[in-house]
Amino acid sequence: MNVRNDHCYYHGTVRGAEDSSVVLSTCSGLSGMIALNHSAVYMIEPLANHSVSQGHAVYRAESLKIPMSTCNQHYGGENRTDKLSELVEGIALAGHGTREKRDVSRNMKYVELMVVADHAEFLKHDRDLNKTKTKLLEAANYVDKYYKALNIRVALIQLEIWNDGDKISITENPYKTLEAFLTWRRKQLRQLPNDNAQLITGLSFHGTTIGLAPLKAMCSEYQSGGVNSDHSVNAVGVAATMAHEMGHNFGMNHDSDHCCKALAEDGGCIMAAATGHPFPRVFNPCNQEDLKRYLSSGGGKCLFNLPNTRVMYGGHRCGNGYLEEGEECDCGDVEECSSPCCNANNCTLKAGAECAHGVCCENCKLKSSGVLCRSSSGSCDLPEYCDGKSESCPANFYLMDGSPCAHGQAYCYTGMCSTLKQQCLSLWGKDARAAPDLCFIKVNEAGDAYGNCGKNSTGEYRKCTERDAKCGKIQCLSAAEKPIGANAVAIDTTIEYNKQKVRCRGTHVYRPSKEEEFVGDTLDPGLVMTGTKCGDNAICFGGECRNASFLQADKCSAKCHGHGMCNNNRNCHCDPGWAPPNCDQAGNGGSQDSGPVQPESNLLVLLVLLPVVLFLGLGMLFLYWCYKRKLHSLKDVAHHPHQITVSVPTSSDSKTPSSGHANPTFQLNKTNTDKMTANQQANSVGTPRSRNSSVRPVVKPPPVPAYAPQQKSPPFSAPSSSSYPSSSVAPKPRPNPPSRPPPPRPVTKPNQIAQRLETDFPPWSLFVTALILKTSASFQKPLGLYTLNIHSRTPFFVRSLPACTRMHPVLGETLPILLSSEVVEAGLYGEE
């Protein structure tokens, strides 16, 4: 039956005592624990059948009679003889000398816990429903106290006592009992939603086992839970076991020797492998690191929403840190409240405040609708947004189990995208990877401790079929000497694969004692994790490779019209541009669960891009201004052309156009009246001259032979010079020379032309990018007495920049050319 109770459970400290901690129940007298320091821990409980009301017994925690129990794990820690009795004194450390705040902060996480007591537990308490209920409520209060040190609140929302008989088969076999309980829990989730469920049984399990739970299963629909044997009269004993098994659900391994710093006589650590006297006390840094890794990998997605306070046990009370019906805020008790927005004495908001807690509250004001309040933490997680009405971010939603991830190479399961490679990296470290499939088949067909597909209901190892082999003990390839676990050893198997020897590497955690085949308190973490892909459309589940369709992710996502995927609430989470609920209409994306996604969310992107656009715009305006300024300078220079002089021999059959080159920027004077010495001529290269300046070199005519009857007219008019006075006597004709081949025509190499161009170009030519003549173009441009013929099969470039200078040969001839800025503008494009 389901039971309720008013609020009568408290956490606190002893006034004036540092490092003190108190966990009390006032439901029927005073019952609980008072820790003055690390070693002075006292228990208090009402005296049974005492004639005087308010009679209580107070005794040291060491006096608790708790049977010796072991809780061994197959890896991650040595089989320790730490005693369960270490737990109570550990609560003193959990306080850390100050009262713990109960404010709802962005770092706080919440477990909505369901506790079930079987019929044997009811019988153990003399068929007294109230006694059974009181003990379990006290145990839940202890568990909440332990986990507060990790910024986790454990809120009991369901308490069920099977006083009329068990609803499942419960035996002394912890594996069979766990399997039956988790199956029952899943069937009840719709009617009794919870994040985690723990069964408390009055039976004792085989051997020394007092509990069993899956590893890294918190929030899982199928595996989030555990079974616990009630082995102590005091509630703190079963609380220690519950906290331990929930720790495995949180991904915590058993403590190795270097982890727990608390002395056994002062208490111990909650995650010790073995338990006994007095009882465990704290979570240590190793446990915190395990928890951090689990959460950062995507685990525990259900922990970020506030619990349903309407069904939470303990009753409504201002100051308990939970925002309950009728309260505007709750920042804890008056002495521990530090909120500037909340009145701690009556749980009301201060004047002008709209809110007091939560990530959607900033400076006592609600954030706007559509503001991102929780970004996705991985490929299987989904973002959430403020709704503008609540100070709390919506519950953390993730892709439905069985949704594809890692580009189709894996499946999402409980918000995590698990692959064989990731698991090998966690076991072996850097560069580890999954072994070939043949390794899984050969090793796991043995059905022993080193190769199996888990255990059956009787606790015996199961042989793997070929189909299930990749869901058994994981096999990796690694060059590491040993696995990462402190007590883990490598189990190597050599096989022949593709005509090569391959070393398949598995892991096993040994016990130093003779009891190797014991019943541990967790499912073997050396097995491939549930939710890992084991084939096409196949997923590992319970040591079997099953068709992924049983998770129905594809069936659910079909209603999203190809524009979204189902979340864990089986609602469509739409892609950007599509609107929920069915992603068949235009919208902003998101889901009914994640909060509204508003266009305002793009404002931040615009604010970031706007300065960049403005900067680029200003830069372009500056470059345009520079271009116009330089262009104006080039036009000014156009009236003062610059000379490039290249001397070449000419052919006698060259024709002399009367009007020069058709392009006015290329000019060649027919006469030269300047008087120029050889030095002046040499120094004239690169010197600005007027358009009418003579640019021809002065050539002295050869002597006239006496026998020459005549002489042809020179191709040029002889320049006037003082060195060559005019003669009134006509020169005698020069005879034709003897027949002989003409001298070879000098070849001007392109690099020589380029060198002259680089030398002769003025500074303004640095702004010239290129003079391009189209490919396969043919040009005939009259240049004074000459015709320039160019047949270019490749692009023809003339560039003045030294690093880019390139010149195509001009059929062996170069001409005296005047280059002005108009040439640059015209680009020397001719007719094809």
Binding residues for Zn(2+): 244, 248, 254
Give 725: exposed, middle or buried? Use CB within 10 Å, 0-12, 13-18, 19+: exposed
Q: What SS3 class is residue 45? A: strand
667's tokens: 């000019």
Separation between Cα atoms, residue 81 and residue 457, nearest integer Å: 28
Closest-CA residue to 91 (of 9, 22, 10): 22
- Note if 245 is an active site residue: yes
Q: Write the CB contacts of 717 (distance below 8 Å, at least 6 apart in sequence).
A: 670, 671
Task: For residue 594, give the DSSP letter.
Answer: S
Q: Three-class SS of residue 200?
A: strand
Four-residue CA torsion sign, 20, 267, 259, 520: negative
**φ and ψ at residue 549, rounded to 5 degrees:** -65, -20
Contact 375, 393 (CB under 8 A): no
Is beta strand 31-35 parallel, antiparallel or unpaired with respect to 41-46? antiparallel
Taking residue 275's Cβ as centre, other Cβ atoms within 10 Å add up to: 32
If you write DSSP's letter for every residue of 611-647 in order, what string do you get? Answer: HHHHHHHHHHHHHHHHHHHHHHHHHHHTTS-EEE---
Rounded to an integer, what distance in angstroms lies between the CA atom of residue 718 and that of residue 726?
A: 10
Q: Which residues of 432-453 are buried (b: 16+ CB within 10 A; e: fewer)?
A: bebbeebbbbbbbbbeebbbbb
Q: Are 280 and 240 in contact (CB under 8 A)?
A: yes
Is the CB of residue 540 less than 8 Å from the CB of residue 549? no
Residue with the two structure tokens 């013929």: 789
Helices (H), 376-499: 420-428, 437-444
Contact 451, 462 (CB under 8 A): no
Which ranges constitute the DSSP H helices of 448-592? 553-557
CA dihedral 423, 424, 425, 431 (to 10 degrees): -150
Torsions phi, psi for 29 (to 5 deg): 75, -165
> Bridge partners of 541?
544
Burial class (CB in 10 A: 0-12, 13-18, 19+), 177: buried
Instruction: Report whether 409 contacts 374 (CB < 8 A).
Output: no
- The residues facing 311 across adjacent strands are none
Dist CA 770 CA 800 (whole Å): 8
Task: Compute the CA torsion angle 557, 560, 565, 570 (nearest 10 deg).
Answer: -60
Cα–Cα distance, 542 to 531 (Å, whole number): 9
Handedness of CA 303, 308, 314, 316 (dihedral sign): positive
Q: Which of 245, 391, 544, 813 is catalytic?
A: 245
207 close to 518: Cβ distance less than 8 angstroms: yes
CA dihedral 345, 351, 355, 357 (to 10 degrees): -40
Q: Which residues are annotated binding-site positions?
A: 244, 248, 254
Backbone dihedral angles phi then psi of residue 576, each to the nearest 5 degrees: -55, 135
For helices 235-249 and 129-148, give the axis angle rounded to 10 degrees. Answer: 50
> Which residues have a catalytic role annotated?
245
